[in-house]
Amino acid sequence: MKNLALTAAVIFCMLFLPLPLLADADWQKDKADDDYNVVVYVRSPSDSPFTECRGETEVTASLGALVSLIADTDSFPEWMHNVKSATVLEQISNTERLTYTAQAIPWPVTDRDSVVYSKLAQDPETKQVSIEIEARPDAYPEQNGYVRVPEMRASWELTPIGANRVSVVYQIISDPGGRLPTRVANAHAADLPFYSLLGLHKMIEKPEYRDAHVDIISEP
């Protein structure tokens, strides 16, 4: 009877846990940097053999400053992990674009490239900004010397948490393509959000981003 009562109590508590706590239960901490308060969590999704990563940090900046940096494709090699070059292939609208990115991968692995569609949206009530990203591998011809990333889903979530203070979440899962063993890809998956968020902290201090205003973004 004691065991039955204990089980019932556990189930009761789980029913009334906030949904985010239940949803995040399978995330495991993988990397952290105390200086910039960057943490990366990983998990193994049921629908993919590849590791999904979620990087979190907080930044002293406006929403416009962060959107200005994330939208500045030419700057990617300066702060996005392993990016050699990046180009906007098509500006579909003021919130949608198609982007080509080339990545330098340490030898002996062949360099990768990706073509992605991204769409920005902002919640009018909370002012949270979200940028949803997905691979469009056939939208641009394959390039010599690169393996095209066939599948990728990613997102940025920028949530105001105080005066000129924003919670930043960068989440990604990617199939690197080619013959790269899954275990090797998974072993380094957390590097992308981790080093990119560290780079974001450094870049956001530049005046061209720190003082930026973006017309389509409403500040809290």
What pLDDT is stored for residue 68 in this prediction? 98
What pLDDT is stored for residue 6 in this prediction? 40
Q: Which amino acid, one-letter code, is at 68?
A: S
HEC-encoded secondary structure of the chain:
CHHHHHHHHHHHHHHCCCHHHHHCCCCEEEEEECCCCEEEEEECCCCCCCCEEEEEEEEECCHHHHHHHHHCHHHHHHHCCCEEEEEEEEECCCCEEEEEEEECCCCCCCCEEEEEEEEEEECCCCCCEEEEEEECCCCCCCCCCCEECCEEEEEEEEEEEECCEEEEEEEEEEECCCCCCHHHHHHCCCHHHHHHHHHHHHHCCCHHHHCCCCCCCCCC
Max Cα–Cα distance, the chain, nearest Å: 68
pLDDT in tens, 6-57: 434 433 343 344 433 334 559 999 999 999 999 999 999 988 999 999 999 9
pLDDT (tens, 9 = 90+) of the chain, 220 residues, equals 444 444 344 333 433 444 333 345 599 999 999 999 999 999 999 889 999 999 999 999 999 999 999 999 999 999 999 999 999 999 999 999 999 999 999 888 999 999 999 999 999 999 999 999 999 999 999 999 999 999 999 999 999 999 899 999 999 999 999 999 999 999 999 999 999 999 999 999 999 999 999 999 999 9
CATH superfamily of 24-210: START domain (3.30.530.20)
215: CB partners within 8 A, 6+ apart: none
What pLDDT is stored for residue 22 in this prediction? 36
- pTM comes to 0.87
* Domain ranges, ordered by start, for the chain: 24-210
